[in-house]
Amino acid sequence: MKSRTLDAVNNQIQAEFQSAYIYLAMSARFEDMKMSGAANWMRIQWQEETAHAMKLYDHLIRRGESPVLQTIDKPEVSFESALDAFERVLEHERHVTHLIHSLYEVAVEEKDYALQTLLHWFIDEQVEEEENAEAIIDSLRLAGESGQGLFLVDRELGQRAPEEEEDE
Ligand SMILES: [Fe+2]
Ligand SMILES: [Fe+2]
């Protein structure tokens, strides 16, 4: 693997672990707010982001490269409402989409076809991530300040279960 591509993948591994860390911190904050459903949703998000990091990590291993793990920053999550939190999720996922697209551009420029194929999965995943966050924001906007509305959205978020491992 070319060093430019390798560095770019290592950076993306960091970004995925960083995402995982942010969502775990959000999960803890939702536990504080007694919104156990949203806490559950964020905890599953943490698992998924960790799985994304590991997908890239394993790709490097399979190609005979050594992943180089980087520093993960302390997550800053001080939201006051669920709507605020999920608006941050959407903003963060848009940022990650941008990172994935930049990584794909590197894979194209460096003619790394195997990495391009792997990244197709990530490109689709980001569409889903943004779509999910937008749908939750819509529900939270409808719920507004109503305790009953928030209760129902929280209950729905509590039903999110970990995804089945897909075949590769
Ligand atoms: Fe991710
Ligand atoms: Fe994500």
Tell me which fold the domain 3-73+80-157 belongs to. Ferritin (1.20.1260)
Asked if 134 and 47 touch (Cβ cutoff 8 Å), the reply is no
Region 96-107: mean pLDDT is 98
Where in the chain are the domains? 3-73+80-157
**pTM attached to this predicted model:** 0.94
Q: Tell me how far the alpha carbon of residue 69 lies from the centroid of ligand 2, in angstroms.
A: 19
Name residue 152's amino acid: L
Q: Which residues contact 89 (CB under 8 A, 6 or more apart)?
A: 23, 26, 45, 133, 136
What values do phi and psi take at 19, rounded to 5?
A: -60, -45
pLDDT tens-digit series, residues 131-140: 999 999 999 9
pLDDT, residue 164, reads 76
Q: Give the C-alpha separation, 134 to 139, whole Å.
A: 9
State what percent of residues in the chain have pLDDT above 70. Answer: 98
Q: Say how many Å lie between the CA of residue 100 and the centre of ligand 1.
A: 9
Q: How confident is the model at residue 165 (pLDDT cuts 50, 70, 90)?
A: low
Distance from the CA of 93 to the center of ligand 2, in angstroms?
A: 5
Per-residue pLDDT tens digits for 59-78 = 999 999 999 999 999 998 88
Q: From the CA of 50, which ligand is nearest?
A: 1
For ligand 2, the distance from its centroid to the CA atom of residue 166, given in whole angstroms, is: 17
CA angle 9-14-15, nearest 5°?
95
